[in-house]
Amino acid sequence: MTEGQSPDDFCYRHPKRVSYVLCQRCARTICGDCQIAAPVGVHCPECDREAKKNRPKVRNRRGGDRTPVTMGLLATMALVYVGQLITGGLVTDLLLYWPPLTLTEPWRMATSLFVHSESSFFHILFNGYSLWVLGTLLERLLGRTRFLLLFLISGIGGSLAVLWLAPGSAVVGASGAIFGLFGALLVVQRSFGVTNPQLVIVLVINLVMGFVVPGISWQAHIGGLLTGLAIAWGLVKSRESAKTLGSIGIFLAVFGVIAVLTLTRFILG
C-alpha cells in the first residue's frame, strides 16, 4: 500500500491489487479477475453465486433461462401495430384509451398499452426496446405471473393518472407500464442493497422528456411509475412471509385502489 491509499482501494480477494470497482451487491472492492458481469454493474464471486441460487428461474426443456412473457408482450405489440397500419387506424380506435369511455369500455385502460403512434415508428421502437431490456431482467427476478401482473397493472395505473389529470386526452402506448417496470427495478435492486445511479438518471431523463416534448403523456408516466413502485415495495415487504399469498394480496390491493379511484373520479364528476 502506498501513502495516501486506503485499504478499500484493494481487491478484498487479492489484497495487493489496486482497484476502484465495487461489487453492486456487497460494495466490496474487486479487481478485474474477480468481476463478474451482472444485469447492472458487476458482482463479486460470492454475490454472483448467491444471486444465481436465489433467483427464480423459468426453464425450458433443455434447462435454459427463458422469458416467455416478455417475448409474448413484444410479439403482441408488434402484431397490433401491423393491424393498426393495415386497417387505417381502425384497430387504434378500438383499443386506445379515452377517459370518457372508461365506465362503458374499461378494458381500454389495459388495451391501450399495446397500440402505438402510427405516425412515429420511434414510439413503438423505444417502448419495445425498453420492455425487452427491463422485462428480460425482471421476469427472471419475479417470475412469469408476477411480472405479467406488474406490467399490466402499472399500465392501468398510468391510464388512471390520465383519467384524473388529463381527462380529455386520448392516449396510446406502453410507456406507463414501462415506467412501472423502471420503478419496480429500483425497489428490487434496493432490497438487494444495490444503488443504481445510472438507472435513476435514465428514469429522470425520460420523465423530464414527458414534460418538454409535445405529444407525450407525462401523466401516464407518473401513474405507471407510482404503481410499479407500490407493487414492488409490497412484494419486497411480503418476501419473508407466505410468498404466494402475499404476492396475490399485493396485486389485489393495488388493483383495488385503482378501481376505487377510477369510480371516485366519476362520482366527483
Neighbouring C-beta atoms of residue 208, cutoff 10 Å: 11
Only one residue has cell 366527483, namely 268
The domain ranges of the chain are 7-54, 68-268
Pick the catalytic residue: 112, 159, 221, 247? Answer: 221
pLDDT digits (tens, 9 = 90+) for 77-106: 999 999 999 999 999 999 999 999 999 999
Pick the catalytic residue: 130, 154, 159, 175? Answer: 175
Confidence of residue 12 (pLDDT cuts 50, 70, 90): confident
**What H or E segment, with its residue span, contains residue 179?**
helix 175-191
Neighbouring C-beta atoms of residue 46, cutoff 10 Å: 15
Asked if 123 is an active-site residue, the reply is: no
214, three cell numbers: 409535445
Pick the CATH number of 68-268 from 3.40.640.10, 3.40.50.720, 2.40.160.20, 1.20.1540.10: 1.20.1540.10
pLDDT digits (tens, 9 = 90+) for 91-144: 999 999 999 999 999 999 999 999 999 988 999 999 999 999 999 999 998 999
Q: What pLDDT does residue 61 have?
A: 44
Confidence of residue 9 (pLDDT cuts 50, 70, 90): confident
The helix/strand count (H/E) of the chain reads as 10, 2
**Of 16-20, 45-49, 64-68, 128-132, which has the strongest mean pLDDT?**
128-132
Q: What is the largest CA-CA distance in the chain?
A: 73
Q: What pLDDT does residue 56 have?
A: 55
For residue 13, the 8-state DSSP code is S
What is the value of pTM for the model shown? 0.75
Angle at 164 between CA 163 and CA 166, to 5 degrees: 70
**What distance in Å separates the CA atoms of residue 158 and residue 151, rounded to the nearest whole number?**
11
For residue 43, the 8-state DSSP code is E
Asked if 175 is an active-site residue, the reply is: yes
